[in-house]
Amino acid sequence: MLNLAIIIGSVRTGRQSHKAAYYLEKKFKEFKDINVKIVDLINYEVPILEERLSRTENPPASVKEASEILDKSDAIILVSPEYHGGISGVLKNFLDYFLKEITKKPIGVVTASGGKFGGINASHEIQKLILAIGSYPMPKKFLVPFVHQSFDNEYNALNEETAKGAEAFVSEFVWFANTITNGKNLFTKAA
């Protein structure tokens, strides 16, 4: 069983990029041995970071709750809109609370934008962040351009390009997460 956490880093009024996350949730739920948990930051009260969770005596309850979900996850997908050429501040602030919960894990990147580039700048930033926490960024990303025209309110894809992009991402992620989490120690030192 693979425990997958999908973190949604958009809480904006009228937000759109959460739709990509809920669409992917449906696709991952088609696998009987993948257990998907959504961490939608709209449901978590996350104060501006004063100190990391591991160094705080009285952490905010919602951060503690998220920590337990992330701790149990074997793999993570980060979903972010592109704001001012980068990652959403809400997602960055949230991730800064953690380390042990998110390190050494396979992590997929999904970004969205209102224009034609699909948040490519944010996606590069997030891959760098994943390296900085000692985790493994999947090279293949899912970029969603024109996000407001890509999904309906029931989280169905509105065009073939979106559906195909998601399918390719899901299939690659399943392989990537499986490869990293089931790594066998094939090598032993010669006596």
Ligand X SMILES: Cc1cc2nc3c(=O)[nH]c(=O)nc-3n(C[C@H](O)[C@H](O)[C@H](O)COP(=O)(O)O)c2cc1C
Question: Residues interacting with ligand X, by CB under 6 A?
Answer: 10, 12, 15-17, 81-85, 112-115, 117, 147-148
| DSSP β-bridge partners for residue 109 | 78
Q: Which is nearer to ligand X, 85 or 134 (CB)?
A: 85
Pick the closest to residue 132 from 103, 90, 106, 107 (CA basis). 103
Q: Minimal distance in Å, beta carbon 176 to ligand X?
A: 25
Structure tokens at 179: 């490869």
Instruction: Determine the 3-state secondary structure of 130 from DSSP.
Output: helix
Relative to beta strand 136-137, strand 142-144 is unpaired
Which residue, 115 or 139, has its beta carbon nearer to ligand X? 115
In whole angstroms, the minimum distance from the beta carbon of 27 to ligand X comes to: 19
**Nearer to ligand X by C-beta: 67 or 111?**
111
Q: How many CB atoms lie within 10 A of CB 108?
A: 27
CB of 17 to ligand X, least distance (A): 3
We find the least distance from the C-beta atom of residue 56 to ligand X, in angstroms, to be 29
Distances from the Cα of 58 to the Cα of 35, 69, 101, 171, angstroms: 30, 18, 18, 40
Q: Which is nearer to ligand X, 120 or 133 (CB)?
A: 120
Q: Minimal CB distance to ligand X: which residue? A: 81
Find the shortest distance in angstroms from Cβ 136 to ligand X.
25
Shortest distance, position 88 Cβ to ligand X, whole Å: 7
CB atoms inside a 10 Å sphere around CB 69: 15
Neighbour-count burial of 88, counting CB atoms closer than 10 A to its CB (0-12 exposed, 13-18 middle, 19+ buried): buried
Kindly tell me which of 56 and 121 has the beta carbon lying closer to ligand X.
Answer: 121
Minimum CB distance to ligand X smaller for 18 or for 105: 18
What DSSP state is assigned to residue 179?
H
